[in-house]
């Protein structure tokens, strides 16, 4: 039990649509990161938020965007969905930058 | 650029056997962190250990032990007397430690461990 919860657990969307994934971090964890994990691969860093500001971004296009709220919740938004966006999306929270990250159970997104 | 290599894609062992999962990393930073995570079928990544680059002391936690060798850029993970509940995918990860920047984790491709009776 990491105290990080994600919703929904599964989602099916059509190519071209937009999707919002949600994450509720542990209280006091002001750093949240999002990762994309394709089948059979390791997670890939999408971006990180620290105190509601983007604090680093991986190699993902601008149609991947995020928000972090004062109540330790956050969102990942993906516009213009493509088939390759099908993956497990993981949210991770940390009490500070560069400490261990605690992951949620993920949202499995399928784009058809 | 950072890179983590887990050359073993899949390992199968019989319960009670010892098993070592290999991890080799590349980084240009002198200060960095290494991690191991376990991913059971439920999907959640479970944190196992975090080690900074200045601490090469090996660590033991119950049946788990880790061997960090900076000279060979390796951070191997050994499970002693494996159990069926250890079956999962194990990921090694690396984070550079620049203060104030994102603690991006770079993961390896994972090693699937199957422990059978």
CA distance A100 to chain B (A): 7
Q: Taking Cα atoms as reference points, which of A108, A100, A78 lies closest to residue A31? A: A100
Q: What are phi and psi of B11, to 5 degrees?
A: -130, 135
Q: Which residues, 6+ apart, have CB-to-CB distance to B101 below 8 Å?
A: A55, A56, A97
> What does the pLDDT read at residue A3?
84
> For B104, which of A41, A56, A90 is closest by C-beta distance?
A56
Residues B4, A42: C-beta atoms closer than 8 Å:
yes
User: Which range is least confidently modeled, A10-14, A97-101, B18-22, B97-101?
Assistant: B97-101
Q: Return mean pLDDT, chain B.
A: 91
**In the structure encoding, which two tokens stand for residue B67, read together?**
């061997």
Q: What is the pLDDT of residues A40-84, one digit of tens each?
A: 999 999 999 988 899 889 999 999 999 999 888 999 999 999 999
CA distance A40 to chain B (A): 7
Total Cβ atoms within 10 A of residue A45: 23
Q: What is the pLDDT of residues B50-99, one digit of tens each?
A: 888 888 888 888 999 999 999 999 999 999 999 999 999 999 999 876 54
pLDDT category, A101, cuts 50, 70, 90? Answer: confident
Mean pLDDT computed over A87-102: 84
Strand partners, A16: none
Chain B, window 86-105: residues with a beta carbon less than 8 angstroms from a chain A beta carbon: 91, 93, 95, 97, 99-105
Q: Taking Cα atoms as reference points, which of A30, A25, A27 lies closest to residue A102? A: A25
Query: ω before B51 within 30° of 0 (cis)?
Result: no
Interface test with B, best of A36, A54, A94, A101 (most B CBs within 10 A): A101
pLDDT category, B100, cuts 50, 70, 90? Answer: very low
Q: State how far the Cα of A6 lies from the Cα of A24, in Å rounded to an integer.
A: 6
> What does the pLDDT read at residue A1?
63
Phi-psi region of B42 (alpha: psi -120 to 50; beta: other; left: phi over 0): alpha
CA distance A21 to chain B (A): 16
Residues B102, A44: C-beta atoms closer than 8 Å:
no
Residues B104, A58: C-beta atoms closer than 8 Å:
yes
């Amino acid at each position: 039990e990491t105290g990080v919860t994600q919703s929904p657990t599964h989602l099916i969307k059509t190519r071209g649509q937009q999707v919002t994934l949600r994450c509720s971090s542990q209280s006091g964890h002001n750093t949240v990161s999002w990762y994309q994990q394709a089948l059979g691969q390791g997670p890939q860093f999408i971006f990180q938020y620290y105190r509601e500001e983007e604090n680093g971004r991986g190699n993902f296009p601008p149609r991947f965007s995020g928000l972090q709220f004062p109540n330790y919740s956050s969102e990942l938004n993906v516009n213009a969905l493509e088939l390759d966006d099908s993956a497990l999306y993981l949210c991770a929270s940390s009490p500070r930058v560069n400490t261990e990250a605690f992951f949620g159970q993920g949202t499995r997104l399928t784009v058809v | 650029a950072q890179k983590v290599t887990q050359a073993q894609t899949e390992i199968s062992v019989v319960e009670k056997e010892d098993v070592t999962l290999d991890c080799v990393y590349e980084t240009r930073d002198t200060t960095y962190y290494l991690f191991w995570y376990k991913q059971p079928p439920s999907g959640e990544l479970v944190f196992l250990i975090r080690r900074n680059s200045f601490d090469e002391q090996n660590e033991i936690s119950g049946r788990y032990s880790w061997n960090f060798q900076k000279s060979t850029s390796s951070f191997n993970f050994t499970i002693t007397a494996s159990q069926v509940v250890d079956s999962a995918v194990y990921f090694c990860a690396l984070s550079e430690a620049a203060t104030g920047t994102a603690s991006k984790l770079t993961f390896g491709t994972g090693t699937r461990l199957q422990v059978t009776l």
